[in-house]
Structure 1
Amino acid sequence: MTVAAAVLVGAAVVTDGPLFELFARPGDRKEQRLFGLIGFGLAVVGLGLLTVTDLVGTGRVPPLQVDVFVGTVLLLVYGNLASELVKTRYPNPFHVSAGFVAGGITAGIAGQLVARVLLDQPLAGTLPKVVFLAVSGAFLGALLRAALFERDDPLVLFSVGLLLWLLFELAPAVHNQEIAAALGVTLVLGYLSFALQTASVEGMLTGVLLSILTIVLGGIGWFTVLISFFAIGALSTKYRYDTKAARGIAEDNEGARGTGNVLGNAAVAIVAVLGFAAADPGVALLRVDGTIFLFAFAGSIATALSDTLSSEIGAVFDSPRLITTLQPVEPGTDGAVTWQGELAGIVGATVVATISFLVFPALDGSVTVSTTGAGVVLVAGIGGMTVDSLLGATLEGDFLGNQGVNFFATLAGAVVAVLVAFVVGGATLP
């Protein structure tokens, strides 16, 4: 807190010179005040207050750990510094974001470890969790830095701090193999998605962050289901792209999916992963059956893949019909369907249902999906795809954008999966 107060005083006093130029953000030079640094200092103070037990640590809400607070602040400071250094030679957004991630991870790990030493807290067995928090924070910070303005550092700091506060409680124990798998697999797939132009920089960062959280908080089985959507959905976007572009219905940026598209399809899934972690008996933040979140996750992913295949493949065929009236409409009309697209959607839902049956509990022994459960996921995927078409025909354009339609469709798929699972008894616990 003393350091933050000194920063605030210094930012208010320093109005020019080398020190001013070092910390000046866009607009600061015109106003001759380091307002960006002042805002960052205030954000540090505000986040620091969450570490005070008397203010926060009441009931079942624990305070923000001091080592996590220190790691968050250093992560953003050195992530920004690294990205600025990289930008001087490699201004490409990919390299700038990579610089932020590298600097942020290094500083985040070092900050947490040094703070734990100074606070006389044990280090044994903590490194995997420290790395997990630093990596998660660095990717969220890089994503927000890429999407927001440079003077939005206070918002970035608070967002990263709140995420790491939550993750610290949701992951009481992180194992070496989990973080190794999360880093190795997701970094390779993230780079490939960008190199193959199936995702923008923001889309790649979002996908990597969601994948890391899914592996650590859910397990490899959960990640296998998630990656099936990312991989097959990306390939379907490229399918006969020129034909779709000529019709004016192709995805923008040569089919590279951005943050909005990734979150529109996967936001419900990641909330389900967080809910599953919170319902774990070792965490017990939510006292509900974690199977609810498994079926919500699988149902939302089945919907996302089903809808994506239906749209991307069905769009290249003629004679689409509006789902609400079955009247012929132009290709690309919101809510239009073709029999080929519907068949492709059913195949997509079947793929996710099959993978769910194979990987639970084969790769993740915490829950089991029976053959009946796989049928539940299939029904949920088809139901969510139908909801997407109905929303497209009735609300898209006037009330909802495409990403909003995707979100509500995946939410519908999750709800259908949960309701049907418990009606037919498609879930069992070990």
Structure 2
Amino acid sequence: MNWSLRRALAFALVATLSLSAPFLGRAAAVPFAVVAVLGAVVTDGWLFEVFSTAQDRREERLRTLVAFALAAAVVGLLVPLFEVPVGVFVASVLVVGYGDLGRRLVLQVRENRTLSMVGFVVVAAAAAFAGQAAVASFTDGAASYPEFVFVAASAALLAGIMRAFFVARDDPLVLATVALLLWLFAVLAPLSELPTALAWERVLVALAVTSAFGWVSRALGATSVAGMFTGVFLGLLAVVLGDYGWFIVLVSFFAVGSLSTKFRYEQKADRGVAEPNDGARGTGNVLGNSAAALIALLLYAAHAHVPLSGDVFLYAYTGSVATALADTLSSEVGGLFDAPRLVTTLERVDPGTDGAVTWQGELAGLTGAGVIAGLSFLLFDIGTTGAVVVVAAGVVGMTADSLAGATIEGRRLGNQSVNFLATLTGGVAGGLLALAVGLA
């Protein structure tokens, strides 16, 4: 067993201390507080050798272990203070603790980044599921196994995505983010009102379909490894928190957007307007175009807790996705044509200039918004007026993207931030227009 695998196993064993939470009650944080203290005082010896990272060895302090233990202790304190379910605490800690073990086990066999991320997600999800099941058995609580699978898979995917960008020393950030997500799911309980058979169908179909789409997108070079897992994560949430229709709308954006990116890619590369990395979209790009839709989806799932109809958030969701596809097609198609004009002054500029538009690109963008509106018409029975609202929201968001590109992109904000602002604008426009015309 090499050094890295041994350290990962040691962290996984520390994470297993979370299973004592059902017995400790309000003192769930104590075992991790003790580990943090021990980690702070150990500076050499076999214990230091087992837990130390390369950076720890240089600094002669077990800072990584201390940070992980303190983060787990803080989340443990939330259990009595804010009545956070014990299962949330256990699953959050186990996902972070066991995920890296899964990654290291794969790397022992084969040096492959994609497979190592799969190992992270699979082992983390298995540990989180087992932890929730154990908590239910320890406390004689209701065992909602479909919910356990959904929570475990969501937590593992989110942790895996974050781990692709951060190092072990960022365990506190990953742990806190996963815990907040699972706490939200505990409040929403999205599967609790479904019959058990239907809940199982929703979760298993969601995992199978989103994983298949993720694999295909990766195989076709449409996404990076992290982008693939981000797409699977968003798709899983769309199916479970919304329904199959919500997923179809989202995946249609990914599919059509990816095809448009590959369309005449070499020609766009020669013109300097092509997406980098051979058109493979990473997590930043996926989230920049989908984060607003995710917010609308979460608000839809929580509409019983907010003073607005769920239909408002349906139009916000479709409006943000319509914006994403409209903006993508506008850029990918418009970049192939000469003589673009700056949207703010209408002066001629070079192709690829932020905020530049062509009439061909605008027409393509309108078509993209129409595609999402047509799907929404079929899937959500929103009627002709509702479809017009979705198209209008997409055009508003696409225009906002062009205006932001001409004024603030590159100076204050990057491309992904501008994409988020544009899709957020389209989503807000969709919700407000639906309210204005009496659809919600």
- Give me the TM-score of the superposition, normalised by structure 2: 0.89
Could you tell me which amino acid in structure 2 is paired with residue 324 of structure 1? Answer: T
Q: Report which stretch shifted further, 334-343 or 301-310.
A: 334-343
In the other structure, the counterpart of 1:303 is 323
1:374 correspondence with 2:387: yes
Q: Is the 8 A contact 2:30 2:73 kept in 1?
A: no
Could you tell me which amino acid in structure 1 is paired with residue 396 of structure 2? Answer: G
Could you tell me which amino acid in structure 2 is paired with residue 136 of structure 1? Answer: S
1:225 correspondence with 2:249: yes
| Displacement of 1:157 | 0.9
Q: 1:289 to 1:116 in 2, by over 3 A?
A: same
1:395 correspondence with 2:395: no
In the other structure, the counterpart of 1:25 is 53
Could you tell me which amino acid in structure 2 is paired with residue 27 of structure 1? Answer: Q
Residues 2-401 of structure 1 aligned to structure 2 (within 5 Å): 2-52=30-80, 55-56=81-82, 63-123=83-143, 126-173=144-191, 175-279=199-303, 284-360=304-380, 368-401=381-414
| Displacement of 1:381 | 0.8
Give CA-to-partner distance per residue, 1:91-137, whole Å, 9 cap, x none. Answer: 322112111101101100001111111112122xx000000000000
Q: Is the 8 A contact 1:170 1:274 kept in 2?
A: no
C-alpha separation between the residues in 1 aligned to 2:405 and 2:33? 52
Q: Is the 8 A contact 1:370 1:426 kept in 2?
A: no
C-alpha separation between the residues in 2 aligned to 1:17 and 1:238? 55
SS in 2 for 1:27: helix
Q: Is the 8 A contact 1:171 1:217 kept in 2?
A: no
Q: Report which stretch shifted further, 20-29 or 109-118.
A: 20-29
Q: Is the 8 A contact 2:190 2:301 kept in 1?
A: no
Q: 1:96 to 1:17 in 2, by over 3 A?
A: farther
C-alpha separation between the residues in 2 aligned to 1:24 and 1:131? 32
Q: 1:372 to 1:176 in 2, by over 3 A?
A: same
Could you tell me which amino acid in structure 1 is paired with residue 348 of structure 2? Answer: P
Q: Is the 8 A contact 2:249 2:376 kept in 1?
A: yes
C-alpha separation between the residues in 1 aligned to 2:328 and 2:417? 14
1:404 correspondence with 2:417: yes
SS in 2 for 1:147: coil
Give CA-to-partner distance per residue, 1:161-182, whole Å, 9 cap, x none. Answer: 1110111111242511110121
| Displacement of 1:412 | 1.5
C-alpha separation between the residues in 2 aligned to 1:141 and 1:217? 19
| Displacement of 1:383 | 1.7
Equivalent residues, number: 406
Give CA-to-partner distance per residue, 1:4-35, whole Å, 9 cap, x none. Answer: 13422432344344443332223111122211
Give CA-to-partner distance per residue, 1:9-65, whole Å, 9 cap, x none. Answer: 43234434444333222311112221100111111110001110xx22xxxxxx210
Could you tell me which amino acid in structure 2 is paired with residue 24 of structure 1? Answer: S
C-alpha separation between the residues in 2 aligned to 1:328 and 1:117? 68
| Displacement of 1:230 | 0.7
Could you tell me which amino acid in structure 2 is paired with residue 398 of structure 1? Answer: R
| Displacement of 1:376 | 0.6
- Give me the TM-score of the superposition, normalised by structure 1: 0.91
Q: Is the 8 A contact 1:26 1:150 kept in 2?
A: no
C-alpha separation between the residues in 2 aligned to 1:388 and 1:76? 36
RMSD: 1.4
C-alpha separation between the residues in 2 aligned to 1:178 and 1:195? 26
Q: Report which stretch shifted further, 82-91 or 188-197.
A: 82-91
| Displacement of 1:226 | 0.7
| Displacement of 1:396 | 1.5
C-alpha separation between the residues in 1 aligned to 2:435 and 2:190? 29
Q: Is the 8 A contact 1:11 1:34 kept in 2?
A: yes
| Displacement of 1:196 | 1.3
| Displacement of 1:325 | 2.1
In the other structure, the counterpart of 1:60 is none
| Displacement of 1:287 | 2.9
In the other structure, the counterpart of 2:23 is none
C-alpha separation between the residues in 2 aligned to 1:421 and 1:181? 31
Q: Which has the higher helix share?
A: 2
Q: Is the 8 A contact 1:303 1:381 kept in 2?
A: yes
Give CA-to-partner distance per residue, 1:63-92, whole Å, 9 cap, x none. Answer: 210122112211211111111121233332
